[in-house]
Structure formats: structure tokens, C-alpha cells
Structure 1
Amino acid sequence: MPFDYKKEYKEFYMPQKKPSIVEVPPMNYIAVRGKGDPNKEDGEYKQSITLLYGVAYTLKMSKKTDHQIEGYFDYVVPPLEGFWWQENIKGMDYNKKDQLQWISVIRLPDFITKEDVEWAKESATKKKKMDFSKVEFFHYEEGLCVQCMHIGSYDDEVATVSLMHEFIKDEYVLDINDQRRHHEIYLSDARRVAEEKRKTVVRHPIKKLDQ
């Protein structure tokens, strides 16, 4: 059976519907950066998803090519994730989606290197006749966070975020900054799952009150 990160690391991908504290280890991703309304048809965000999955599946299927990755084992491509922010806005204003900035990411197995990603970009470009140059190898050290499973529309996340902030207030403070961002992990395919049933992990960086 292919290794499934969602099942093997449930503490990161399958939290409860109530807030919890988690220490997230450093991880490698493929990433595409952009800005603008993610709901815009043929917009930059939806294009970024196409690019990410193109490279992700090229890496997964590398076992069938001449590019043999050292330490490779079969795996399920991890879910789409995103780091989000808006310049000069504290928190998240869901009514100003055109001002959103984001880094869309998909986690990489530890055996995949930056050189492997460059190979996959070149291979995908040749095969799909698309420009994959925006895809980058991205290392992220997330650290201490509060997280919660959100079920429903993305626009309704504010209620879940409020629960998270209430949960930490006695011992922790938010630590959102230029290096640590509002983080979402998408466990449901928005094209196939009704809004009210979508599952999204919402995660915020925190630190101890006395730090």
C-alpha cells in the first residue's frame, strides 16, 4: 500500500473539531506564490493548483522513468495546502479576497530534493507543453501552532478561528508574522464536495505568553 501522510500523521491532517496545540516539524513542499481572489475563474490561484499537481504527480511517477530518486517509496500525493495573508490587514478580511496573497503548497516526501523538483519541472514542461517555472522547492519551519478542523464554507472559517483564539488566550499568543502565516490544509476537493461538507484544517502559529 502506498504511504499516506494523512493516515500516518493524523495529528497534522486529521485534528478534532475542537482546537488543539501541535508542534509541527520542518517540512519540504513544492510551492507557487501569487495574489488575488482564489475564486476567480482562470485566475492565478487556480492556475497555481494546476502547476502544483503537474509537478507533484511527475515526482510520484518518477519511478517509471530514468530519473530514479534515491530512497524512493510509493506514496499518496498529500493534500493541497495554503499560507494566506493580506498586506496591512490584521487577521483575515474575507470580504476583500482580491487583496489576498498566498503561497499554495503540496508536501514532499523527505527523500525528494530540490534537484528532483527541478527535474520534475523540466519533465512536466516537455510533456504538458506548459510553463512550470513558477513552481519552487519550499522549506518551511512551522513550529508551535493551534489548529482545528473546520467543516463548511471557507467564508465561515472566522467562527473556527475565534474558537482557536479563545482556546489559547490563557497560555499563548498568536505569532503570525512575515515568516509564520495563517495556514489551511484542504482535505476536500472543492469541485466535488458541497460547501457545507468541506473539511479544512485551519492552523495558526503561536508562542508562549512569557516568550
Structure 2
Amino acid sequence: MAAAFDFKKEYKDLYLPRALPMLIDVPTMTFVAVAGSGNPNEDNGDYAEALGLLYAFSFTVKMAKKGDWQPDGYFDYVVPPLEGLWWGGGFDGTRIEDKDALNWVSMIRQPDFVTPEVHRWAREQVAAKKPELDVGRARLVRFAEGPCAQIMHKGPYDDEPATVAALEEFVRASGLESGITDPASPEALMDALDADGGVPPVRLHHEIYLGDPRRTKPENLRTVLRHPVQPASA
């Protein structure tokens, strides 16, 4: 039996960078995404609800292999890691003044066979099994990030500022500057992300979570930190 396709292993440049900064051109990918605001550490808060919806959707698609219907082009795969775009709350890439004022879009990559039709089917399945979830919040978006700098952060999330500072210094030394532009609201960002494969006009601080904080010691967590870049202004 062939092993399930693992995006992390097949695209190591996207998911397993070194603990040293690097430049990368991030291609077009498909995501299921949920936008929201507020402290991600709040018990049973909006962020926790968003994650429940994302995983319910993602595993519904993955487990289509055991149902009576599979999407065209279906193949078995490992559900990719959780990702997040962050802004607001006084967040400047290195520190957060107010986590309650954060804005975020949480998302999980989907195989390219997840079309709008598959998205509608999966939402119907989730709505039937988990009526407490607001499936209308789950958007299917397809966009590229384009030129970025990224680095692997190892350790607690609260220790990220030093890693981000190293990333930003690398960007400056490379003759580039940050391409981060904050949207007006989570809803505005979702509309911007629906770029049908192109690079959206709004680009943000991006994190990819390779460890589960519920099961992993803080010092062993691994998080990809990614910032959009552009040529430095004259």
C-alpha cells in the first residue's frame, strides 16, 4: 500500500526550513480559511471554534476515501499543518501589546482537488455532523504569497520576537524590506485572499505550526515564521 502523500515531506522548502533565514517564492496553494478576532488563548473562544471548524472540514475531505463518493482526482494524504496570518493588537512583527485586539485568519492547506464543489460538499457534511459549528465561516481561498523570507523558530511562541528580529535583519541585509500591509478587518482580508491563484494586495506575518502545544513541550515546538518581502525603497 502506498504511503499517504505528506505535504511537509514533499515540500520541505515550504514547511521545513532551517533555523537560519532564507528567501523563498511561495507558489499558489488552496486553503480552507476562517477569519476572526480576539485572544487565541481564550478557553472556548472564537479562535478555538475556528480551529474546530478547520479540522472538521479538513478531516471530512481526507476521509472521503471511506465514503460512497470521492472528489475527482482524490488521493490519500496527511492533513497539512495549521497556519495563521496575524495582525492588529499593536503587533509589529516582534511583540503584541494586546492579544484581545488581535486579528487573524487561521487556515489549513487543501489538495488541489478541493474545488468549490468539494468545499460545498464538505461543509454540508460538517453541518450535519456538527450542527454547533458555523460552517458558513469556512471559506475556500486560493492564492500565492510570492516573494517571502522565512525561518524556523524553535521553542515557545512567546520567544518568537528574537527570531523575527533575526529574520528582519536578514531581509534588510538582502536589500529588501517588509511587504506586510495590514487590512482594515478580517472580512476585508478574506476578500483580498480570494485571489484565484494570484498574489493578494494584502500580505501579512504568517506562522505555520508544526507541533501541537497540547502534546509538545514548549521548548520542542517548531514554528515556521514567514514575512512577505519587496525591493527596498530608494
Q: Aligned residues: percent identity?
A: 45
Q: CA deviation at 1:88?
A: 6.5
Is 2:179 the partner of 1:175? yes
Distance of aligned partners of 1:7 and 1:89 in 2 relative to their CA distance in 1, 3 Å threshold: closer
* Equivalent in the alignment of 1:144: 147
Distance of aligned partners of 1:151 and 1:54 in 2 relative to their CA distance in 1, 3 Å threshold: same
Q: CA deviation at 1:71?
A: 0.7
1:1-211 equivalent positions in 2, closer than 5 A:
1-86=3-88, 90-91=92-93, 93-131=95-133, 132-170=135-173, 171-177=175-181, 178=183, 179-209=202-232
CA deviation string 1:56-88 (max 9, x = no partner):
000011122233211111000000000000067
2-structure distance, mates of 1:50, 1:10: 26
Does structure 1 conserve the Cα–Cα contact (< 8 Å) formed by 2:176 and 2:229?
yes
2-structure distance, mates of 1:162, 1:106: 26
2-structure distance, mates of 1:42, 1:87: 20
1-structure distance, mates of 2:150, 2:64: 34
2-structure distance, mates of 1:10, 1:69: 26
Give the SS at the match of 1:144.
Answer: strand
CA deviation string 1:27-64 (max 9, x = no partner):
11001100101001001001111100000000011122
Give the SS at the match of 2:77.
Answer: coil
Does structure 1 conserve the Cα–Cα contact (< 8 Å) formed by 2:30 and 2:112?
yes
1-structure distance, mates of 2:22, 2:54: 29
> Can you give the 5+ residue segments of structure 2 that lack an aligned partner in the other structure?
184-201
2:207 counterpart letter in structure 1: E
Distance of aligned partners of 1:95 and 1:209 in 2 relative to their CA distance in 1, 3 Å threshold: closer
Does structure 2 conserve the Cα–Cα contact (< 8 Å) formed by 1:81 and 1:104?
yes
2-structure distance, mates of 1:114, 1:156: 39
Give the SS at the match of 2:76.
Answer: coil
Q: CA deviation at 1:129?
A: 2.9
* CA root-mean-square deviation: 1.5
Q: CA deviation at 1:189?
A: 0.4
> Can you give the 5+ residue segments of structure 1 that lack an aligned partner in the other structure?
none
2-structure distance, mates of 1:192, 1:91: 26
2:105 counterpart letter in structure 1: I
Tell me the TM-score normalised to structure 1 length: 0.95
2-structure distance, mates of 1:127, 1:206: 42
2:53 counterpart letter in structure 1: L
